[in-house]
């Protein structure tokens, strides 16, 4: 560590504390109060804000570049200069962890964004238009849900070889929308029968406009919750794929391929495996806690202790 990275890290922690307490003070409405009543909401939100902030200011909190090798220091245990130790070719684990956060959090978020958009649109179309389009789309969703995703993605990777980052995000998004689609469809089917949807139809509003302006906003709650809970799954899947060598390709660091790198040094340099795993565990935990709290906030009917 050097002075800049320590100062930036402290600043990031301070910003997180300020931001979370600001949110807590400002969001005093019904939903906000329900959100913060969840026992893990504050912790979850704080971890997410902190990780995202650190990922954003990565060059400032890392004393080394993620690819920089210090060849005299291989598999060195944690010390002041390298707070999380160094890996098998002398790269600083802390620096790689921080840059890996960009990749892991980014892939999870973008993949989920794509999945939620697709799932929302297809689900809305199926639920609104009903009939043969609904039947066809939902059978496709059934097929998609019945193939274990990791096999599907591994199959695609076997066909096309190693994937770039964007292709990986695309693949994760394209295989991840089936569950969201089902939820949204169920929502839309009930919303389309409401009087205001009838009124819009009577006024001659076009179906897609009704879907986007009237129907989807009413199932926004389930979309947001399923997105928050889905990012964690996306991240776990990305980590698993990268661990198998099929996801994010080295030397670009992702938490999953850092664990894969550390695997062969497990017994003499456990820190190279331990810290990326904890990083995944804590961010997924924070995402799940925030997702649970969001559900409490947005869906008052499902009050679960």
Partner 1 sequence: MDPAVVARLQHNYGLDRPLLEQYVRYFVELAHGELGESFYQRRPVAQAIADAVPNTLLLTITALAIDFALGILIGLYQASHARRRSDVALANVTLFFYSLPTFWLALVLQLCCAVWLGWFPTGGITDPAIHDSMPLLGRIADRLYHLVLPAVTLGLVGAGGTARFQRAALLDALGHDYVRTARAKGLAEPAVLVRHAWRDALLPVITLAGLALPFLLTGAVLIETVFSWPGLGKLAADAISARDYPLVLGTTLVATCAVVLGSLVADLLTAAADPRVRLRS
Q: Which of 223, 216, 231 has its CA nearest to residue 126?
A: 216
Beta-carbon contacts of 120 under 8 Å, excluding residues fewer than 6 positions away, are: 180, 181, 184, 216, 219, 223
| Shortest Å, Cβ 74 to partner 1 | 19
Q: Give the residue from 169, 174, 176, 175 showing the smallest Cα distance to 111.
A: 169
Smallest gap from residue 274 Cβ to partner 1 (A)? 7
Q: CB of 33: closest distance to partner 1 in angstroms?
A: 18
**CB of 134 vs partner 1, minimal distance in Å:** 21
DSSP letters along 197-217, please? HHHHHHTT--HHHHIIIIIGG
d(CA 93, CA 77): 10
**Cα(232)–Cα(239) distance, integer angstroms:** 11
Question: By C-beta, is 204 or 305 nearer to partner 1?
Answer: 305
Closer Cβ to partner 1, 115 or 211, answer by number: 115
* CB of 252 closer than 8 Å to CB of 102: no
CA 258/CA 264 separation, integer angstroms = 11
Nearer Cβ to partner 1 (118/285): 285
What stretches of the chain adopt beta strand conformation (E)?
none
Residues that bind partner 1 (CB under 8 A): 39-40, 146-152, 154-155, 157-159, 232, 236-237, 239-240, 243-246, 256, 259, 263, 266-267, 270, 273-274, 276-277, 280-282, 284-285, 287-289, 304-305
Question: Least separation, in Å, of the C-beta of 49 and partner 1?
Answer: 18
Nearer to partner 1, 111 or 232 (CB): 232
Give 61 or 172: the residue with its C-beta nearer to partner 1.
Answer: 172
């Amino acid at each position: 560590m050097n002075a800049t990275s320590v100062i930036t890290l402290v600043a990031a922690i301070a910003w997180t504390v300020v931001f979370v307490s600001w949110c807590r003070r400002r969001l005093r409405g019904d939903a906000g109060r329900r959100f913060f009543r969840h026992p893990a909401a504050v912790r979850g939100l704080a971890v997410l804000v902190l990780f995202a902030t650190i990922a954003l200011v990565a060059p400032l909190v890392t004393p080394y570049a993620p690819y920089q090798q210090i060849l005299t220091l291989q598999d060195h245990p944690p010390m002041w200069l390298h707070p999380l130790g160094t890996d098998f070719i002398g790269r600083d684990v802390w620096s790689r962890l921080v840059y890996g956060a960009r990749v892991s959090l980014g892939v999870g978020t973008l993949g989920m964004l794509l999945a939620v958009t697709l799932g929302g649109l297809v689900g809305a179309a199926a639920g609104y238009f009903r009939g043969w389009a609904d039947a066809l789309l939902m059978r496709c969703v059934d097929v998609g849900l019945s193939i274990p995703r990791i096999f599907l993605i591994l199959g695609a990777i076997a066909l096309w070889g190693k994937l770039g980052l964007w292709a990986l995000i695309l693949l994760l998004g394209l295989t991840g929308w089936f569950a969201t689609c089902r939820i949204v469809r169920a929502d839309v089917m009930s919303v389309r029968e409401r009087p205001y949807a009838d009124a819009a139809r009577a006024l001659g509003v076009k179906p897609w406009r009704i879907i986007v302006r009237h129907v989807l906003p009413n199932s926004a709650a389930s979309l947001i919750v399923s997105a928050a809970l889905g990012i964690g799954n996306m991240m776990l899947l990305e980590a698993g794929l990268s661990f198998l060598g099929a996801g994010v390709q080295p030397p670009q660091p992702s938490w999953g391929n850092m664990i894969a790198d550390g695997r062969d040094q497990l017994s003499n340099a456990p820190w190279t495996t331990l810290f990326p795993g904890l990083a995944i565990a804590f961010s997924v935990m924070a995402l799940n806690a925030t997702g649970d709290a969001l559900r409490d906030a947005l869906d008052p009917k499902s009050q679960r202790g």
